[in-house]
Structure 1
Amino acid sequence: MNERHTPTSRRALGLFGRLGRWSAHHRRAVFVAWAVLILALGAFAPRAEHALSGGGWQADGSESVAARSLIDRHFGGEGSYALAVVVSSRAHAAGDPVFRHAVAAAARVLRDEPAVAAVTLPQPGRSVSRDGHVAVVRGGAGAGTAEMVRAASRVERRLAVAGSPGVQLALTGSPALWSQFNDENKTAMLRSEVMSWPLTMVVLLIAFGSLAAAGIPLLLAISGLVATAGALWLGTRVTGITIWAMNFALMFALAVGIDYALFVVVRFRSALRSGLQPIDAVGETMDTAGKAVVVSGLAVLASLSAVILVPSQPFRTSVFGILLAVGLVLAMSLTLLPAVLATLGSRIDRFALPWAGAVQHRSERFARWGRLVARRPVLVGALAAGVLVALALPVLHLHTAMPNAGVLTRHASARVASERLQQGFGPGAPAELQVVAPRAAAGRVQHALERGPGVAAVLPPQQAGRFALLRVQPSSDDPGALIERMRQQLPAGALTGGAAAEAHDLERVLRGRTPLVFALVSAIGFLLLLTIVRAPLAAAFAVLLNLLATAATFGVATLIFQDGGGEGLLGFHSQGFVDAWAPVFFFCLSFALAMDYTVFLLISVREELERTGDARAALVEGLARSGRVINAAGAVMVVVFFTFAMSGPLPPKEMGVILGVAVLLDTVLVRLALLPAVLRLLGDRAWWVPTFVERWLPHLRLRDAQPEPAGSVAVEHGGAPC
């Protein structure tokens, strides 16, 4: 289908067209402004990694956090963020000189750490195993959670050279767990980046067909990441920010940078080929693609913002990092990208490869696919829906829980220490619970604990001022039921804490907030789509299909990570559950990415509908104009995410697989098959706007009025089928 293009100078441009044209005219000022901002923030970027927090995985305001606060205040920092050195030997026992020397060395290392408040030596009956071959030296937390995680890293390095022959020293406790997990995750991320960047460049070259064009998404992604890292460091001057904020910022800067650059560059190439001069082509491009990018960016930002409902610092600040990255890349796409395109002009195809121009504004191959969907919507839709439903069925028995030291590699200190605690004290020793109660109630608390099921041992209470501290060893490493029972049965004023209780409270909060987050994200996505495409049914079905694809994604996650279906391929040992943060966090991330592709498809179809008034032809042409872009962007994301699944500890594997599968299912089955089939079956009804909706929807045209080819129909929005 050929279009007659009107130079943008002969008609009024919309807001984003004018912004793009202004950026193209004033590109030197735009380059200088962005260079100053990126360099200024980039100067702080190298400091970000050391300033970001490695801990804080807790439900803020929960009983376990309140218990930790009391314990740290009155019992020398012996709460859940205390450090514990497990001293063990098969050949020596606690009374042997070589074992005593190792205990003294461990205590000396802890005393030399400024973040440690007090050191407690092993005590028979409390922290020495019955056979004497395992003992625990404790170092109280004398600083906040973030500093204790850093302290754990320092202590671990010193312990590595402090042991005695035949006696092993292994550091454990929440700070050690998160310190070692973050170190392993950092190594895995770097390894994945080394693998993903060359693969990403290859996919971009295939998509764009020229080195100059392929470099544009990487320019946006790298610039956005550098600026985000610097901004995160500035944020740490105000509040604690998790190191995961940097990890997710990296992925989303790359994700949206590629998506937006693909959509804009393809439109720009098309405008150039229609005979427009570079600055006019920029205005034409941003007047259409710019609107799609803005709506997509708003959808991503709004979807991710729902995670803030989870009252936990790592979740909220992880989202903060992503929002910064997406916001910066969005701003660059609307200003810096037009300036770059105007500067390149026809040179955007410089260093062209044999398939130069492979990504056109229109693909005849996807047009043929669109005509097939239009002829056989029931068959295509049923096949795609059948696959998604089949993949979604395992989600019915999805079980979630918080991970423990088992997610670390086999030789990690915290995992080794956990295993030795189990060998010396019993299976529930690593999940020790702490009960802090009024001193007068200590006897009643101890009596209630000792006669309750699920308890392996209760140590005599420690007393300090008005409070007593009791340590409870569960009989298993999954004390969730015991924690709930303790809270129901213990006397008033008794608080149950400890690392296992904090994990339990966070899991419970996540489970409780999941329906609210899902509903809020879905509602936001529907309202944004309704605003831009002005079609309630089209927007509603798009959101419902996103939810179906998400269910299929978590069905795959259940098969792989809970049931162990991918252990051999991915190199991990199943925990028997999916990590508790996955449903909330990864739903928001995958839904945000899906909204990107939804916006691109629906806007392309809506543009054609406004131009021709023919719903069937608009569907075919919308697929022809967006299909290759969606596939190219999706291919890059699948490559990036799956590289994270091939290395490192278990949670990054979950992240890589879940997000990679989400993008794969969305681009192949939903965007290119199921949603087009639904739109075809709905026909004109898909684009009908009820009168009462029409009255309050803002009037945002996707195509501004311009001369059209003979026989075309200019479609106005109204309260009737288009």
Structure 2
Amino acid sequence: MNRLTRLVISRPKAVVAAWILLLLLTAPFALQLNGVLKAGGFSDPNGEAARAQSTLTRAFHEAPNTLLVVLHDPSRPVAGQVAAARAAIPKPGVAGVADYRTHPTWLSKDGHTTFVQVGYSSSNTTVQNLVPRLRSNVAAKVGPGVQVEVTGAPALDYALNMRSAQDGIRAELIAFPVLIIVLLFVFRSVAAMAVPLVLAGVTLAITQGAGYFFATTTDLSVLFTNIVSLIGLAVSVDYSLFIIKRFREELDQGHSVPHALQRTMQTVGHSVLFSALAVIVALSALFIPRAMSFTSMALGGVSVTVVALAMSMTLLPAVLSLLGTRINWGTLPRRSATTNNSSPASTTGAARVLKRPAALLVALVAAFAACAFPITALTLQVPVASAGILPASDSTRVGIERIKQDIGLNGLFPVQIVLTASATDQAALLQAVQKVTNYARSNPEASSVQSVTTVGVPAAALPQALSSGGAGLPTGATTAIGQLWTPSGNNLVAQVVVTSRADPDTPASHHLVKDLRSQLSSLTGNQVTAQVAGATAVGLAFDDLVLRSIPLVVGAVALATFLLLLLAFRSALLPLLALAFNTMVVAASLGLLALISQNGEHVINSVTPPMLFAVMFGLSMDYMVIMIARMRECHREGATHTDAVLGGLARTAGMVNGAAVIMVAVFASFSSAQISIVRELGISLAVAVILDALVIRRFVMPAALLLIGPRAWGRPADPVQPRPDPVPDQKETVSAFAD
């Protein structure tokens, strides 16, 4: 650290020029980032549902991407507009078109709503880009009286891309003015306020430019940009706050600019380094699930933290070296302050509250437990079979909800049981199809079941009909057999299509899929492989992936945090306390989120809990390191254990509060997001930071330390000589690494 700081101080202009060059090189790619990101990512790519879908696509040549053009006319029947709508569909990439004339149930009972299904052989990205053109073409053809919406998975992906970009811009437009006010209040200097904001903007731009190159080598979700903004604004501004505040304090004590910078980087700089490492390690645990959504958020959070750390260690010291005392330019008038030379232990308001630490600790732990209690009724579910993740006014959501309300979604999102056997085992496969069909029919949640045993061919004639591909049968039976039974290489593939009575994202449909999966092995035998596909199965597979990954994510984050704190504080008790405190915060935040989510139904996105856990465990290390380090320093300077705890608390409370306000401002700005998962993360992180900074660090942690006593500081180190502090109202914060 000392060598790097000396290098930066000796060549500050070169360092600034290098970062400006890097910004100029990456900015053009940052502008192209949204064009290479993908929507979705809420599936287990290695799960049973994904493998089953691949089998269906390969065997039955199903169109990999489908759009639904919804037509609704509130004043008259809409069937007469279907032909015009079909004629307006752009032809390139179209694999097939179907409407109510071949599927009568696709026309509403009153005749005012129907839809046209368009299958595409093109890639998902290509089909996404067709959505606005398809909507405008059809709308122009059918006339102004017909409401036209385009929905389906590619349309949902397109909407997510657009909304994600809008969410990031909106959140930044909200956050930056708030940050200006907060930083002006904290620093009371225009220059000191401006530097963190400029660095934050550069951090986001460079990370987004790097994201373009990441997206060319791996699939990245649109959530990448949201997480870059969410994490990047918080850490870059906070790290700048810690360093600039300490630098100004050193200048106030009469030190030269080079000496003030070296002292700042030796102390607070090490704290920032440790805090950033904690964030990086915690977010890296999100790579464990190996799903695109988690990988994208992990990569976004890690990369923006790395960039923020690199800038804090190089660009920020270089800028401060060039500015020198001009960092105080534009200083605002200060409120009159009185000097108080009494000990912090006697002046802090927390001292009065902490007179009975045991009672306070019990009361606060009970309060956190009460906040966390709604978790017991929490349901984790990813909305892969609905547009509920989008705002109610979005065209894609309006279209799918129009179908749901007027026609019903059941036939659009069936449960598909895929049965595969060797081409020589036709009899075994047919027997398995019959057993699965009979069992599915017996399930009260199934409204209809289709298989080759239900197409009307007599059982005795069915084997021959299957061998001949339905030759000699009525056209309808031949078509049905082709859709439900086919040779594929050296295998035969059959499917049993089960339509649920409930919508695909409801608990009833989930129970149906779980029940079918649990019985397949006993129904099919060893010669037949059975898998379940369909939107509901994909959602369940992702939810199962999250549930399996949570213990691994929690274990990895907890172990890494424990080892980092053990290294920093040389105490086993402090890392254990950190784990307990963070667990309390995350549990309470999830409990409160459950209370306000989904109209009180306690349903939240599966991604939210592990993401909240990883982010909070990383970010809360800022407060832990700064406060414990200052308390520990007071103790080494000769203060009693009680005075060290309360004194360190008094000296760091202002800085922690300022940092917390910054994080809350950033996270709260994302509560306006149109995408529900981003909104959930913004709300839960804002609540978590408030609980962590104002309750855990101000009361729970000091109370626990007072009860534990001096053994909390671990192995004793050589005492340091107390140093006079000439600025009573601006106490320094010394990192544990300064030992």
TM-score interval, smaller chain: 0.7 to 0.9
User: 2:511 corresponds to which residue?
Assistant: 481
Q: Structure 2 residue aligned with 1:635, among 658, 661, 671?
A: 661
* In 2, Cα distance between equivalents of 1:512 and 1:626: 39
Q: After TM superposition, give the deviation of residue 447 of structure 1 in Å.
A: 4.4
TM-score calculated relative to the size of structure 1: 0.85
Q: Which amino acid aligns with 1:497?
A: A
1:348-384 CA-to-partner distances (Å, cap 9, x unmatched) read 11101123999x9x99989614544664433543443
Task: Decide whether aligned partners of structure 1 residues 431 and 587 sit closer, same or farther in structure 2, where only a CA change above 3 A counts.
Answer: farther
Give the C-alpha shift of residue 52 in structure 1.
Answer: 1.1
Residue in structure 2 matched with residue 29 of structure 1 by the alignment: 14
Provide the rounded CA distance (Å) in 2 between the counterparts of 1:123 and 1:674. 67
Q: Which amino acid aligns with 2:263?
A: E
Q: What residue number does 1:612 align with?
A: 638
Shift of 1:668: 0.2
Residue 59 (structure 1) aligns with? 44
Mapped contact 2:441–2:449 kept (Cα < 8 A): yes
Of stretches 413-422 and 433-442 in structure 1, the one that deviates more from structure 2 is 433-442
1:346 corresponds in structure 2 to 325
1:399 and 1:562 in contact (8 A); partners too: no
Is the Cα–Cα contact under 8 Å of residues 92 and 99 in structure 1 kept in the other structure?
no
**2:419/2:495 contact within 8 Å kept:** yes
Match of 1:82 among 58, 62, 66: 66
Q: Confirm or deny that 1:417 pairs with 2:399.
A: yes
SS in 1 for 2:43: coil
Give CA-to-partner distance per residue, 1:639-672, whole Å, 9 cap, x none: 2222222352433321221111011111100111
Correspondence 1:537 to 2:573: yes
Could you tell me how far apart the structure 2 residues matched to 1:576 and 1:621 are?
42
Counterparts of 2:183 and 2:547 in 1: how far apart (Å)? Answer: 39
Could you tell which deviates more after superposition, 20-29 or 58-67? 20-29
Q: Which amino acid aligns with 1:271?
A: E
- Identity level (%): 31
Q: Tell me, yes or no, if the aligned pair for 2:226 and 2:678 is still in contact at 8 Å.
A: no
Residues 48 and 60 of structure 1: is their aligned pair in 2 closer, same or farther, counting only changes over 3 Å?
same
Q: After superposing the two structures, state which structure 1 stretch, 447-456 or 324-333, moved more.
A: 447-456
Matched, 1:669 2:691: no
- Of 291-300 and 121-130, more deviation after overlay is shown by 121-130
- Between 1:441-450 and 1:182-191, the stretch displaced more is 441-450
C-alpha contact (below 8 Å) 1:174/1:499 kept by paired residues: no
Name the residue aligned to 1:10: none
What are the ranges of 5 or more consecutive residues in structure 1 without an aligned counterpart? Answer: 1-15, 565-574, 695-700, 711-721
Q: 1:713 maps to which residue?
A: none
Within a 5 Å distance, the mapping from 1:158-177 to structure 2 comes to 158-164=137-143, 166-177=145-156
Code of the aligned partner of 2:70: V
Match of 1:378 in 2: 358
Matches within 5 A, 1:305-324: 305-324=284-303
Deviation at 1:236, TM superposition (A): 1.5
Alignment of 1:398 onto 2:389 = no
One-letter code of the match for 1:86? V
- Cα distance in structure 1, aligned partners of 2:720 and 2:139: 73
1:170 aligned counterpart, secondary structure: strand
1:460-609 aligned within 5 A = 460=480, 462=483, 463-466=485-488, 467-477=493-503, 478=506, 479-490=509-520, 491=524, 492-562=528-598, 564=600, 576-609=602-635
**Aligned mates of 1:658, 1:242 — CA distance in 2:** 21
Q: 2:443 aligned with 1:452, yes or no? A: yes
Distance (Å, rounded) in 1 between the aligned partners of 2:699 and 2:123: 51
Paired residue type of 2:575 = A
Q: Which residue number in structure 2 is paired with residue 202 of structure 1?
A: 181
Change (3 A) 1:464 1:165: farther
Residue 5 of structure 1 aligns with which residue? none
Assess, with a 3 A threshold, how the Cα gap between structure 1 residues 504 and 349 changes in structure 2: closer, same or farther: same
2: distance between equivalents of 1:46 and 1:450?
53
Q: Deviations over 1:55-113 (max 9, x none)?
A: 2321120111112222333434435x43233344566667x5333323443xx23x34x
Counterpart residue number, 2:458:
none
**Structure 2: how far apart are the matches of 1:212 and 1:258?**
14
Give how far 1:686 is off: 0.7
Label 1:436 to 1:619 Cα distance change in 2 as closer, same or farther (>3 A): same
For residues 160 and 309 of structure 1, do their structure 2 counterparts lie closer, same or farther at Cα, with a shift above 3 Å needed? farther
Q: Distance in 1 between matches of 2:104 and 2:388?
A: 25
Residues 1:584 and 1:552: Cα distance change in structure 2 (over 3 Å): same
Instruction: Measure the CA separation in 1 of the matches of 2:349 and 2:132.
Output: 55
- Counterpart of 2:106 (choices 103, 124, 128) is 128
Corresponding letter in the other structure for 1:128: W
Q: TM-score scaled by structure 2? A: 0.83
Mapped pair 1:268 → 2:251? no
**Unmatched 5+ residue regions in structure 2?**
451-479, 725-738
Q: Is the 1:217–1:262 Cα contact (8 Å) retained in structure 2?
A: yes
Q: CA RMSD in A?
A: 3.0
| CA distance 1:158–1:665, shift in 2 (3 Å) | farther
Partner Cα separation in structure 1 for residue 99 and residue 666 of structure 2: 48
Query: In the TM superposition, what is the alpha-carbon distance from 1:624 to its structure 2 partner?
Result: 3.0
From the superposition, tell whether residues 417 and 374 of structure 1 become closer, same or farther in structure 2 (CA, over 3 Å): closer
User: For residue 256 of structure 2, what is the aligned residue in structure 1?
Assistant: 277
- Evaluate the alpha carbon distance shift between residue 609 and residue 151 of structure 1 in structure 2; reply closer, same or farther with a 3 A threshold: farther
Of the three residues 268, 271, 274, the one matched with 1:295 is 274
- Residues of 1 paired with 2:547 and 2:149: CA distance? 33
> Are the equivalent residues in 1 in contact too, given 2:43–2:539 (CA < 8 A)?
yes
Query: Which of 601-610 and 146-155 deviates more?
Result: 146-155
Determine the C-alpha separation between the residues in 1 that align with 2:315 and 2:226.
24
1:240 aligned onto 2:219: yes
Do the aligned residues in 2 keep the contact of 1:77 with 1:118 (CA within 8 Å)?
no
Alignment coverage as a number of residue pairs: 665
Q: Write the distance in 2 (CA, Å) between the matches of 1:537 and 1:453.
A: 55
Deviates more, 1:28-37 or 1:189-198: 189-198
Query: What is aligned with 2:682?
Result: 656
Mapped partners of 1:201, 1:34: distance in 2: 23
User: How far is 1:123 from its partner?
Assistant: 4.9
CA distance in 1, matches of 2:161, 2:336: 42
Would the alpha carbon gap of residues 53 and 250 (structure 1) be closer, same or farther in structure 2, given more than 3 Å must change? same
The one-letter code matched in structure 1 to 2:26 is: L
Q: Which moved more, 1:405-414 or 1:625-634?
A: 405-414
Shift of 1:194: 2.0
Structure-2 residue corresponding to 1:102: 85
Whichever residue aligns with residue 212 of structure 2, its letter is W
Call closer, same or farther: CA 1:364–1:164 in 2, change over 3 Å.
farther
2:57 to 52, 72, 90: 72
Distance 2:122 2:86 in 1: 24
Which stretch shows the higher mean deviation, 587-596 or 370-379?
Answer: 370-379
Residue 304 to residue 146, structure 1, CA distance change in 2 (3 Å): farther
> 1:375-413, CA deviations, whole angstroms, 9 ceiling, x for partnerless residues?
443354344334322212222222221223234333323
Q: Distance in 1 between matches of 2:494 and 2:342?
A: 73
SS at 1:161's partner residue? helix
Distance in 1 separating the partners of 2:120 and 2:513: 23
Q: Structure 1 residues 707 and 315, CA, compared in 2 at 3 Å: closer, same or farther?
A: same
User: How many angstroms apart in 2 are the aligned matches of 1:464 and 1:168?
Assistant: 39
Pair member with larger Rg: 2
Letter in 1 for 2:402: R
Residue in 2 aligned with 1:567?
Answer: none
